[in-house]
Structure 1
């Protein structure tokens, strides 16, 4: 086997690979000896078919197997002999025609991971914004909880429904005088002012009384989920079967018992823990972003274009999907097209930061243990129906890339924790509103994600860019989308079970039945 380097430019490498005819023939003969022992052919006992006859019938297939095996060995030898760290799967091209016999010539092309000579992680200085969970925060949390658990009671006779009241309705909708699927329902509860229904629907129920009939005229939004209704005017025949008003909520021990908690003090302890965790998470989000900003400012090195292409493609596909759901898809698409180069630069930054975090982790012996991986796999399996959980566990055990992607968020957190431990941290007390505003304004700065050997997809940051309808929104979104591995994991062979209901302390949303519910936008999650 002959190997010669033909390209060495930046991170790009290319090698000519010649596999001699005699080496291929030797592999064919070895494979022929194997299959001749088991192959069946009419007129011969198993294992007694003459090798020359087997070769005559199966020679091309055997040569193909032998050539593929030799090629795999050759690519591995190229990587080993030159000490390469491939960024993505090497590309192999045949030089000329592939002969039926004789030497085989190939070109092996690849990009390698950069060598980061100077990792600058000393003298890190960061500011951490902290929000104390004080009495005011506790009062706000209790008020939100009381609002979410708001009970209602029948309104007095002849009471006219107002915003905040709940009306119970039977309805039938028609478009162009014809009833449509899903447009009829009974006993639907609608909290006026909640915005759960399409624009104009709830407004026309204000002032309604029990046992009243009304005709409501609305127009379905252009981006409504049902294509046959999107943008069309409709009328609904409404019968108001009841009106309910909010009941007074007293926040006391009885209130706490409604959530299965013994006392108000015990409820406050639970809420305090939740507040501490929530506010701590916000503080960490801001601190982590400032850490990544600092690392990005200190390091500048070439990154593999193939990795950038894969990262950009993931970002772009998500943005295009969001644009397609806008009221004016063409305008939304034009806006993101105008910012294509901005998104490309973001992809470059994410890949660079990811490679840097991976390098820092490797240099400092940061690992994810098997016990931690088992816990991660168990947590992922728990999201599926019980009958599917073992399949999910097996999937991650047998798919290295999927396991790497599951592992990546924990690995990244460990690297970030290591760097934060090294940094000089100064704390500044702020209000929750100030912290959220700081994160909001910082959303223009894109984050990184661990890339490189042993790293995978970042679930922590994997959030779809939100609608690019406004410049500010688009910039915010750029900061939230994650860096992705060039080779995505295969889809797990199981369907997720329906999400479990929230804890008792969270009230479930009222059912919209078959009513003209407002279409939901893709949720934007903080980085």
Structure 2
């Protein structure tokens, strides 16, 4: 077998592999000899069919199996001998220009009269030498849970089981209103804005749109009103952010809250599926702590990733880059198509931002490769059980309430294209934990409001 390097440019490689006809004949003979003990033909006892007769009857079929075995096994052994790893799936072709092979040549290969030739196209992983991790310095924010916030959350939890009584009086803060509404921006209906039977407790902050609940104070059942609001800067879907909208609202019910006393026997907590009020407070405090920890964790990761990106500058495999860029680009297009804006209205804007999205793709691919390398050196692995646990949804904090429910394959090179979208993947988290034990971390106490 001959292995000839045709191209070695940056991370790109092109290899020509020649398997001599003689070697192909040997492999074919071995395959026929193996099959001899299993092939039964009329006129011959099992295992007694002459090899040459088998070659005549099944030669081409067996040669096809030989070729299939070569194409499945030999490329990876060739890369191993060269000390290389393909960053993506190998591209295998039977001629240099990826054109269909000449039928006459194929016939000669099958008959054992010509060498079997194929080509490998691939990109190798860039060489990444991990630097001194102790030089990385980050700030880790430390936040204590505000008991006032715990009190507010306890009250919200309790209000989820509070009962209400319909009234004809004007709605006041604390009342529950049931409404139907549609939203319009510049006279155009906001997609998916129609809602029938939505319930809001006024003054509770249930609505994520500022000044929405406040404008419902004073309304009565069967009223039809219009209110004007501005969507907040951080709003999903993002195309509504900072937009002014008019909501046409029909008030279906106004209901006043019934008294709900917190009894000494903890009946209220038990209605939420918990043992006691103390248990309720502990659960809520833990939930708030987890929310704080999640935000802090994201800030930590951003600092670490920024530092890594700054310290490691290298070319990334083009195929990985294109896959990641296309993933981002398609996601953006999908978001556009799911909004009220037409694709044509935003095409020019999208084209103007191609460089921004490509820069993001480069960052994601580069960070994925860096984390992969760090994880390899650290011997970090992820078990199937850990992957399964990572994908499980978090259970509601109160088993009997109506509150709703709130990966990584870094160890496998061929899975690298799929590493970047899910941020909370097991391998990534393990690498971050590994880094936190080796980099310089400065703790800084802040208030919850500063988080």
The structure number with the bigger radius of gyration is 2
CA deviation profile, 1:387-446 (whole Å, cap 9, x unmatched):
xxxxxxxxx9xx9978997999222222211221222222223333422xxxxxxxxxxx
TM-score, normalised by the number of residues in structure 1:
0.60
Residue of 256, 259, 272 corresponding to 1:245: 256
> Which consecutive residues of structure 1, in runs of 5 or more, have no partner in the other structure?
170-182, 217-235, 384-395, 436-527
CA deviation profile, 1:279-333 (whole Å, cap 9, x unmatched):
1221121111111111111111122112212222222222222221011131345
CA deviation profile, 1:39-81 (whole Å, cap 9, x unmatched):
4556666556554454444333222211222234431332122
Shift in alpha-carbon separation, 1:116–1:379, aligned structure 2, 3 A:
closer
Shift in alpha-carbon separation, 1:129–1:168, aligned structure 2, 3 A:
closer
Residue of 297, 301, 318 corresponding to 1:305: 318
Q: Does 1:286 align with 2:293?
A: no
Q: Which residue of 2 aligns with 1:151?
A: 162
**Distance in 2 between residues matched to 1:400 and 1:118, nearest whole Å:** 18
Task: Tell me the SS of whatever aligns to 1:99.
Answer: helix
Q: How does 1:13-24 map to 2 (within 5 A)?
A: 13-24=13-24
What's the offset of the Cα at 1:257? 3.1
- Aligned-residue CA RMSD (Å): 4.2
Q: Does 1:108 align with 2:120?
A: yes
Q: Which residue of 2 aligns with 1:60?
A: 60
Q: Is the CA contact (8 Å cut-off) linking 2:134 and 2:440 kept in structure 1?
A: no
**Distance in 2 between residues matched to 1:150 and 1:363, nearest whole Å:** 53
Q: How does 1:60-459 map to 2 (within 5 A)?
A: 60-95=60-95, 97=102, 98-101=105-108, 102-117=114-129, 119-147=131-159, 149=160, 151-156=162-167, 158-159=168-169, 164-167=175-178, 190-191=199-200, 209=221, 244-250=255-261, 253-330=266-343, 331-368=345-382, 373-377=384-388, 409-435=425-451
What's the offset of the Cα at 1:382? 9.2
Q: Is the CA contact (8 Å cut-off) linking 2:126 and 2:316 kept in structure 1?
A: yes
TM-score, normalised by the number of residues in structure 2:
0.70
The alignment covers a number of residue pairs equal to 375
Task: Tell me the SS of whatever aligns to 1:366.
Answer: coil
**Distance in 2 between residues matched to 1:116 and 1:258, nearest whole Å:** 57
Q: Is the CA contact (8 Å cut-off) linking 1:150 and 1:247 kept in structure 2?
A: no
Shift in alpha-carbon separation, 1:110–1:167, aligned structure 2, 3 A:
closer
> Which consecutive residues of structure 2, in runs of 5 or more, have no partner in the other structure?
96-100, 109-113, 181-193, 227-248, 395-408
Task: Tell me the SS of whatever aligns to 1:284.
Answer: helix
Q: Which residue of 2 aligns with 1:178?
A: none
